[in-house]
Amino acid sequence: MNIGVDIGGTNIRAGIELGGAITRQSKISLENKESLSSTLSQLMELIRPLTKYPVQGIGIGVPSVVNVDTGMVYNVMNIPSWEEVALRDIVEQEFNLPVSINNDVNCFILGEHRFGLARQFKSVVGMAVGTGLGSGIIIDNNLYSGNNCGAGEIGMLPYRDSILEDYVCNRFFRNVLQMDAWEAHNAALKGDLSALAAWEEFGVHLGAVVKTVMYTYDPEAIVFGGSIAKASRFFKNSMVKSLEDFAYPRSIRNLTLLLSENENIALLGAAALMHKN
């Protein structure tokens, strides 16, 4: 058994992985984010009750660049006090348990590969589509983080007048419809023509992301997760159609596109970081 922790800019979740499922799950809303000591204290108090069980270690996913060798995290999104934090050392000293830390989207795809939809694939890319666009990569059954834990930052690549992320995250709907993706989803459910058109355009842009992933990594499968992926019924057709001009049609025919189903998959992936220890 290992503890999995998923740190977000608003909430932190934690639970124990047991038999490929999460038990003893709990969540807090992170407060006083400008204070390093306060946020760390909140994290410790969330984890502490779980350490009473016979767990072997703690895996933590964070929305930031991570030095996976030292457990140092940098510039954590939406937590301004976490500019440079020796998180692994701090948590290990607090609980006297081994700790492993990685990027949150890496944990997402690791969870899908070890426990979820991607178990049968040797190479797979996970795409978290929501507030931003994040990617995690499995190559030859191993998580690939890159030298600086920055591998898979597809959203930062140039696209049209900006970068890909501007066209395939919540920001796109704010720019096009002056509403967030959740509101755009609800509008589409009610048959709003402007919202439906925006989702169709969104699918074309997401298709550009799929092409980029295929040209760079050529995985067996891509797993979509994140809040926006739940609206796939409104963008999947245009996304798939946009792939018709891909230079290698056979590669697209061999590609499997999946939609994440387990809301605890990032927790499972974080816990799976400890399997190497």
Residues with Cβ within 8 Å of residue 96, at least 6 apart in sequence: none
Q: What angle do CA 217, 223, 225 make, to 5 degrees?
A: 125
The helix (H) or strand (E) run that includes residue 154 is none
Give 14-33 pLDDT, tens digit per residue.
999 999 999 999 999 999 99
Q: Do domains 2-106+265-276 and 121-259 have the same CATH topology?
A: yes
What DSSP assignment string belongs to 195-237? HHHHHHHHHHHHHHHHHHHHHHT--SEEEEESTGGGGGGGTHH
Q: Where are the domains of the chain?
A: 2-106+265-276, 121-259
Q: What would the pLDDT profile of 31-44 be if each residue is shown by its tens digit? A: 999 999 999 999 99
Q: How far apart are CA 200 and CA 182, in angstroms?
A: 15
Residue 60 is predicted with a pLDDT of 98
Q: Are strands 256-259 and 221-225 parallel, antiparallel or unpaired?
A: parallel
Q: Express each pLDDT in 208-254 by its tens digit.
A: 999 999 999 999 999 999 999 999 999 999 999 999 999 999 999 99
- Which CATH superfamily does the domain covering 2-106+265-276 fall into? ATPase, nucleotide binding domain (3.30.420.40)
Rounded Cα gap, residues 269 and 134, in angstroms: 15
**Predicted confidence band of residue 9 (pLDDT cuts 50, 70, 90):** confident
pLDDT at residue 136, as a whole number: 96
The per-residue pLDDT for range 243-259, each reduced to its tens digit, is: 999 999 999 999 999 99
- The CATH architecture annotation of domain 121-259 reads 2-Layer Sandwich (3.30)
User: How many Cα neighbours within 13 Å face the side chain of 275?
Assistant: 17
What residue type is assigned to position 276 of the chain? K
Kindly report, residue by residue over 96-137, the tens digit of the pLDDT. 999 999 999 999 999 999 999 999 999 999 999 998 999 999
User: What's the pLDDT band for 276 if we cut at 50, 70, 90?
Assistant: low
